[in-house]
Structure 1
Amino acid sequence: MFRLRRYRYYVFFAAIVVFLLYRVAQNSEQWEAVSASFPHAAPPPKLKPPPTSKTGADSQVDTSLKGISSKDDDLPQRILDNSGKDSSPGKDSLKAEIPDLKNTQQAEDEDDAADFEPPPKSDIAIKEAGVLAYDHDEAAKATTAPVINVPDKNVGKGAMDAENNPVKTAIHWKKVPEHFPVPESEIIPLPTEKPKKIPTIQFAFGKESAENRELREARQQQVKAEMERGWAGYWKYARGHDELSPVSKKYRDPFCGWAATLVDSLDTLWIMGMEEEFKEALLEVEKIDFTIGKRPEIPVFETTIRYLGGLIAAYDVSGGKSGGYDILLEKALELAEILMGVFDTPNRMPVLYYNWKPSFASQPRRAPTNAGVAELGSLAMEFTRLAQITKENKYYDAVARITDAFYEWQESGTSIPGIFPEQVDASGCNRTAQNELEAAQSAADIEAYDETDSNNSLDAGAAGEDNELDFESDVKAKSQPDRLDKAESSVLKRSRKSSALNLNVVKKKNPKTGKVELIAGERILPECVSQGLTSGGWGAEQYSMGGSQDSTYEYFPKQWLLLGGLEPKYKELHLKVSEAVKKWLLFRPMVPDNRDILFSAKITTSGEPETDAKWQYEVTHLTCFVGGMFAMGGKIFEVPADVEIGKKLTEGCVWAYESTPTGIMPEGAHVLPCPDAKNCHWNQTLYEQTLDPAFESRDEQVEEYRERKAKAKAAVEKARMEKQNAQDLRSSTGKTGRPNKSTPDEKPLEDSPVDHNNARVGKRAPVGLEDDTMESRPVKNKKAPALDDDLEDSDPVPGFKKSTISQVPLQDDEDTDEDDPLRPLSHKEWVANKIESEKLPKGFVNVNWRSYILRPEAIESVWYMYRITGDKKWQDEGWKMFEAIVRHTTTEVGSSAIDNVLSTNPKQSDEMESFWTAETLKYFYLLYSEPNLISLDQWVLNTEAHPFKRPKSSFGV
């Protein structure tokens, strides 16, 4: 008993500890519930990878990606074994779920500590910014994208450094609250009706002869061989990186390092029957981490058409949901959720170069004021198809608003009605009115600033790792209030350094010092006077079907097909575009064989094209897509004339291929338009005059040169005769009756225009030129006249009497112009010299961009024309193009761009763009395939040649 009393205190405290532990255990579920409510949960414990032997260079990289081995031949069974199986049966199996990603909790570095997290955006701040404030209560109910946590994954080969090591960074993209969300009630839904009956696009091909089939299949196998070689080179030397450098056998990462060639080529692998390579590539696809990249910004247009389009098309061609390759849709959704942030602007027009890091992505922003038409309008097909597959209307809403903006702009009118200028102001703000508001606000800010204490301080907050929000450097010293009346408000000026953001600066009294201070709050947008899309930049506008504009026009009829003809806006947009192109841009070039072909020009105007339009009659490879666009549009909208126009446009690009020494079309050139497109014949004189704009004055300059030369020659002859006469006079008055020999000290006659010692020099000098510098130029050394005094003093031949008349020297041979480097060229000579020095193919006025970078646009239109007309001549034309390209671009491990198509031995530039395997080789392969492979009546291809399945039932399923 005594011993129990001795230890009673220890027993008491032990009981308390046990009780507390019990209470904690009982409440653990509540703690877990609270933890789960946070938007970014801690990552799950990593799976322990199987042990690997590490011996020098063969050591394996430790991977925590769901236990997947890093060995190439160890493919996930859920990818390889699910082909042809429906992995998610049930009534909701048709609806794909957005992957539940988890936040990466890595060691924080100094950059992370500097990340600026703004307070929630208030309605007051939005209204002060002069933009429409959505109903946030309603928006809270909207089906906007849920907060996505970043997965704790191994950084795959899509994000490796130059030494092939994982990129060490703690900065990942993460979902941030939207500043301008779309309420659920305002989301634009996909059309829900059954697709309309659309006219047949493809030709009704008959039975193929054995001979034709043998030829076609032989050509197809050669195309596939090029794909196999290029893919093997990429896989060995550039796997996981964007592009192969096929000459140096290295790699490049011009995009975000997300394996562009691999993702871009997935559907090509499937279409060509390279199924094993396709399955191997899926392992690399799963390693790609879209939440981190090698570039500080995401190029939205290129990322959408290559990556998002590539993933969706690979999912479609491999069987969709029934194909079992769900990783493709999962990755497409992961990327799409990141890209959706670009639409969070006041007018929902996209930011086209998206700084994905949280410190910037969390800030309000506007669309650019100088967007390219193609960048802005070429997102529609990819997000629409994703919406059809997932039944998520938010993806369609994002791009439907862009279409609506283009439709309204076309309705209100542009300088050339029907088409749009190359540069677009998509900000939604009237800059002129906005500048007036900012000037007024600046004056008000300065006045308010003067009222504050001169010792006030401004806490601008820490800048993010991007240095995009470095406001502190703009804060003016408070000890210099006298300078404020000569400068803009520092608050307003910050908009130039923070992507059009302003600090929401408020006055607060410091409780410690009692002084009023200016405190930096959340970032707000400057005031805005709303407007729709309008011309961007300043000065003249440019209109064409070429680069920076092309694919937006291409998407109008294709988007109509993808939506089953249920959205009439796309048909109206296309028909007005085609009419404008026919009226303003199409022209027939004058070519040596009088071929009836067409090209599309570029127009520059200051707003009055009827009077100030200037045409550039260009021939660009990028514009060659327009032949296929016209032909397909003519079929689906039943305009037969447009099919014929498409044929002539495609033949124009074929002619451009045939005209060069390499048999490959240059990237850019100019030609001469026919004066009359209906009656055009080759005119050599007109062509030469176009090559030489100064042809009228050039022959006159030659005549003037010859006159000056004749006068100079006469002056020299006159001086020589005067000298000779003077010598005769001295000889006749001499004592001996013989001419006096001049001594070294004897000076020439003062009235002689040419002295004795300079006579030969003057004869060789350039004729008709006055300054001394011209005399130093080399001329042909002609034989000089015989003026030797020894010959003059010699005795006469016996039997002859010495003449008292001085001997006339022998004359020069008749002078010729050809050897005179100072003679101006005649018009004929100038033209011949231009053609020779620039190696101009006949019919070309100039070739200003001589390279070929493996582009697909010409063969794209050739393929469309074959599938639409059934004419086998297009297969023959395509084969000549293919052979020429392979001849000059082939390397040991792939194909390379070349620098000069006008040279018989062009230099390879060590670049293999991802569209070589994604587009160019795919179009060549389909040109020699069975017509039912990617039939135009079942599929529609995006601008990167990625096939999307056309819907047969409502909602695109």
Structure 2
Amino acid sequence: MLFRQFVLVACSAIGAVVAGPVQNSHLVLPPDAATHKQAVLNIFLESWAAYKEFAYGHDDLTPVSESFTDGRNGWGASIVDAMSTMLIMGQTELFEQSVEFASKIDFNISHTTDTTSVFETTIRYVGGLLSAYELEGQKHPILVEKAKEVADKLSLAWSLGNVVPYGFVDFNTSQAQIATSNVAEAGTLTLEWSTLAKHTGNDTYRQLAENSVRHMIGLTPPLPGMAAQGIDPGSGNFVGAYVSWGGGSDSYFEYLIKYPRLSNTNDNIFADTWHTAVDTSMKVLAHNSTVGNHLYLADWDDGQIVHIGSHLACFHSGNWLLGGKLMNNQTIIDFALTLADACWNTYASTLTGIGMEQFGFFSSDGNFTGATPTDDDLAFYAEHGFFLFPGAEYYLMRPEVLESNFYAWRVTGDTKYLDRAASAITSFSKWLKAPSGFAGIWNTNESDSGFIDDMESFWFAEVLKYLYLTFDDPNHISIDEWVFNTEAHPFKAPPAKFTYGSGKVGSTSSSSAPFKSESGKVPEISFAPVLGKQIKGQRVV
């Protein structure tokens, strides 16, 4: 029986229910947890030492060539992204050195010729600075000043009278880049910009970010609660009809439930839209594989189910656990845990024990993936219930599977999630150890595929933080007290409200018009400068 066949009762309940605590209050760490936590700290310190030797002050270390890249405008992304992790790991000396560096960053100009991503700069720089400010007890106001400095420049993304921000700004000419965007880029600003508003007393920051999300919620979506991936800031209309929990859409949905938790807003529109998106996903996107009965969320392309999943999308189970607990909805919680198992299977099934960027699967209702699997792919599927998507077999040091694993441990207390995290530590230590620091690999199912010569800043910000916290005292950074942004920077949350959302699912659009969108080039998503490929609409091209 397909899991999604019995999801309707709790998801369609009428009337809100009392919010439950998110974190299990009876968590007990086993004796070996301290050993695993120390192993993660050692990886962090080794990675940081390599970065400091070969790339300090630049954005990323290139761990094979022992040099650096500046893909985030050359402001030292790894330093700012690592600050919250340093505090959580008790590395106060490294943190103070990083504050000294951050205090001298000139965010008024880019140190490269690249335009500046509003999304990436918000989640890494604005988020990293503000989270560090809150975690260390608000002792360094310069961190807020620097967050304000970069946000003021990013606000040029709204300078043409548009409610939805443009995705990129040229800091050197002070002009927005006129181009289509996607809902993740336009809708993943509310946590950071509302926190900046709180610490500066200027509510304009919150209003800019929140109004963008309100506008997108108000559009008629292709599926209930589920925004199309593309958005044109100029017209304010959707572009195309692609729906996904993966890159380009992912953190838009993520923040629909995290923003009401962090802000405790009394407006139900955000939580209700999230609830509706989850309900729709269970009914339309959820499919079980014909081998192994693994539960996946497919993509949807203007009525066509696309049987693919991705590492990026695997954040969904952790996000659903958070929302399911806030809504006291056991159906969502159980569904989320089943999704987490399927995502972990993409790690457990490979030769390296590490998950790939993207995978395909088949279900009883179809097998369209957008690519033609080889005989080897079909043989792998017959054993594991998924196959590595052609051209996306690599691991780019992403966190999402381990992020959801962290939430699953903190919510359930089931030690199988500790075992999974320990397995990941072992795999990373064996397969990602580069000449200096750690690196991604080109094929997670081969022993000699070679390294990807880039150690992204989110290795510090996300992967190692979530692994460390999995084995740390659960009362340290409790998920009842902190809300993580999509770059794993925690923000201090107020005590939880009595309820989140109205308990109803259905249309949250302010428009009664049928869905419509513009045609145009699908926005570029999930692009890593080091790779010779791009992913658009979740398809490698």
- Short-chain TM bin: 0.7 to 0.9
The 1:951–1:390 alpha-carbon spacing in structure 2 relative to 1, beyond 3 Å, is farther
Alignment correspondent of 2:64 = 247
Contact 1:850 1:900 in 2 (8 A): yes
The 1:840–1:197 alpha-carbon spacing in structure 2 relative to 1, beyond 3 Å, is closer
Alignment correspondent of 1:560 = 260
1:426 paired residue among 233, 247, 251: 233
1:536 paired residue among 239, 258, 263: 239
Alignment correspondent of 2:278 = 578
Contact 1:422 1:548 in 2 (8 A): yes
Alignment correspondent of 2:297 = 600
Measured against aligned partners, the alpha-carbon deviations of 1:131-173 in whole angstroms (never above 9, x if no partner) come to xxxxxxxxxxxxxxxxxxxxxxxxxxxxxxxxxxxxxxxxxxx
Alignment correspondent of 1:316 = 134
CA RMSD of aligned residues (A): 2.6
Alignment correspondent of 1:672 = 362
Contact 2:395 2:440 in 1 (8 A): yes
Alignment correspondent of 1:204 = 25
The alignment status of 1:373 with 2:76, answered yes or no, reads no
Alignment correspondent of 1:779 = none
Q: Secondary structure at the match of 2:475?
A: coil
Q: Which segments of 5 or more consecutive residues in structure 2 lack a partner in the other structure?
A: 1-16, 498-541
Q: How far did 1:586 drift?
A: 1.1
The alignment status of 1:279 with 2:96, answered yes or no, reads yes
Q: How far did 1:841 drift?
A: 6.0
Alignment correspondent of 1:942 = 485
The 1:231–1:330 alpha-carbon spacing in structure 2 relative to 1, beyond 3 Å, is same
The alignment status of 1:337 with 2:152, answered yes or no, reads yes
The alignment status of 1:844 with 2:386, answered yes or no, reads yes
Aligned residues: percent identity? 31
Q: Secondary structure at the match of 2:395?
A: coil
Q: Which segments of 5 or more consecutive residues in structure 1 lack a partner in the other structure?
A: 1-195, 429-532, 606-612, 676-685, 695-829
The 1:366–1:854 alpha-carbon spacing in structure 2 relative to 1, beyond 3 Å, is closer
**Structure 2: distance between partners of 1:338 and 1:920:** 29
The aligned amino acid for 2:23 is Q
The aligned amino acid for 2:26 is F
Contact 2:144 2:199 in 1 (8 A): no
**Structure 2: distance between partners of 1:234 and 1:840:** 42
The 1:347–1:933 alpha-carbon spacing in structure 2 relative to 1, beyond 3 Å, is same
Alignment correspondent of 1:270 = 87
The 1:653–1:333 alpha-carbon spacing in structure 2 relative to 1, beyond 3 Å, is same
**Structure 2: distance between partners of 1:953 and 1:657:** 34
Contact 1:898 1:906 in 2 (8 A): yes
Q: How far did 1:335 drift?
A: 1.3
**Structure 2: distance between partners of 1:266 and 1:225:** 16
**Structure 2: distance between partners of 1:657 and 1:546:** 18
Contact 1:345 1:366 in 2 (8 A): no
Alignment correspondent of 1:715 = none
Measured against aligned partners, the alpha-carbon deviations of 1:751-773 in whole angstroms (never above 9, x if no partner) come to xxxxxxxxxxxxxxxxxxxxxxx
Q: How far did 1:206 drift?
A: 5.1
The 1:876–1:335 alpha-carbon spacing in structure 2 relative to 1, beyond 3 Å, is same
Q: How far did 1:905 drift?
A: 2.1
The 1:840–1:284 alpha-carbon spacing in structure 2 relative to 1, beyond 3 Å, is farther
Relative to the length of structure 2, the TM-score reads 0.84
Contact 1:297 1:354 in 2 (8 A): yes
Alignment correspondent of 1:383 = 193
Alignment correspondent of 1:400 = 210
Relative to the length of structure 1, the TM-score reads 0.48
Superposition pairs of residues 102-181 of structure 1, within 5 angstroms: none
The alignment status of 1:868 with 2:411, answered yes or no, reads yes
**Structure 1: distance between partners of 2:492 and 2:408:** 21
The aligned amino acid for 2:155 is M
Q: How far did 1:307 drift?
A: 0.4
The alignment status of 1:302 with 2:120, answered yes or no, reads yes
The aligned amino acid for 2:22 is I
Q: How far did 1:944 drift?
A: 0.3
The aligned amino acid for 1:308 is V
Q: Secondary structure at the match of 1:424?
A: strand
The alignment status of 1:915 with 2:458, answered yes or no, reads yes
Q: How far did 1:399 drift?
A: 1.0
The alignment status of 1:218 with 2:39, answered yes or no, reads no
Q: Secondary structure at the match of 1:864?
A: helix
Alignment correspondent of 1:637 = 327
The aligned amino acid for 1:603 is W
Q: How far did 1:325 drift?
A: 1.6
The 1:277–1:692 alpha-carbon spacing in structure 2 relative to 1, beyond 3 Å, is closer
The alignment status of 1:885 with 2:428, answered yes or no, reads yes
Contact 1:264 1:310 in 2 (8 A): yes
Alignment correspondent of 1:327 = 142
Q: How far did 1:597 drift?
A: 3.3
Contact 1:198 1:565 in 2 (8 A): no
Superposition pairs of residues 443-522 of structure 1, within 5 angstroms: none
Contact 2:397 2:440 in 1 (8 A): yes
Q: How far did 1:886 drift?
A: 2.2
Q: How far did 1:296 drift?
A: 4.3
Alignment correspondent of 1:519 = none
Q: How far did 1:341 drift?
A: 2.1
The 1:841–1:249 alpha-carbon spacing in structure 2 relative to 1, beyond 3 Å, is farther
**Structure 2: distance between partners of 1:205 and 1:297:** 48
**Structure 1: distance between partners of 2:377 and 2:359:** 15
Measured against aligned partners, the alpha-carbon deviations of 1:340-389 in whole angstroms (never above 9, x if no partner) come to 2222222332121112234x53xxx7964x21111010111100111122
The aligned amino acid for 1:414 is P
The 1:923–1:665 alpha-carbon spacing in structure 2 relative to 1, beyond 3 Å, is same
Contact 1:315 1:329 in 2 (8 A): yes
**Structure 2: distance between partners of 1:948 and 1:573:** 22
The alignment status of 1:625 with 2:315, answered yes or no, reads yes
Q: Secondary structure at the match of 1:629?
A: helix
**Structure 2: distance between partners of 1:299 and 1:637:** 33
2:269 paired residue among 561, 569, 574: 569
The aligned amino acid for 2:428 is I
The structure with higher relative contact order (CA 8 Å, sep 6+) is 2
Contact 1:244 1:251 in 2 (8 A): yes
Q: Secondary structure at the match of 1:948?
A: strand
Contact 1:603 1:615 in 2 (8 A): yes
Contact 1:588 1:673 in 2 (8 A): yes
Q: How far did 1:266 drift?
A: 0.3
Contact 2:59 2:70 in 1 (8 A): yes
Q: How far did 1:207 drift?
A: 5.5
Alignment correspondent of 2:506 = none
Alignment correspondent of 1:96 = none
Q: How far did 1:894 drift?
A: 1.0
- Count of aligned pairs: 479
Q: Secondary structure at the match of 2:451?
A: coil
2:222 paired residue among 412, 415, 420: 415
The 1:299–1:841 alpha-carbon spacing in structure 2 relative to 1, beyond 3 Å, is farther
The 1:568–1:334 alpha-carbon spacing in structure 2 relative to 1, beyond 3 Å, is same
The alignment status of 1:663 with 2:353, answered yes or no, reads yes
Alignment correspondent of 2:164 = 349
**Structure 1: distance between partners of 2:68 and 2:254:** 31
The aligned amino acid for 1:199 is G
Q: How far did 1:567 drift?
A: 2.9
Measured against aligned partners, the alpha-carbon deviations of 1:894-944 in whole angstroms (never above 9, x if no partner) come to 110111112122201211010001000000000000001110111000000
**Structure 2: distance between partners of 1:295 and 1:629:** 36
Larger radius of gyration: 1
The 1:937–1:907 alpha-carbon spacing in structure 2 relative to 1, beyond 3 Å, is same
Contact 1:201 1:936 in 2 (8 A): yes
The 1:248–1:581 alpha-carbon spacing in structure 2 relative to 1, beyond 3 Å, is same
Q: How far did 1:263 drift?
A: 0.4
The aligned amino acid for 1:543 is V
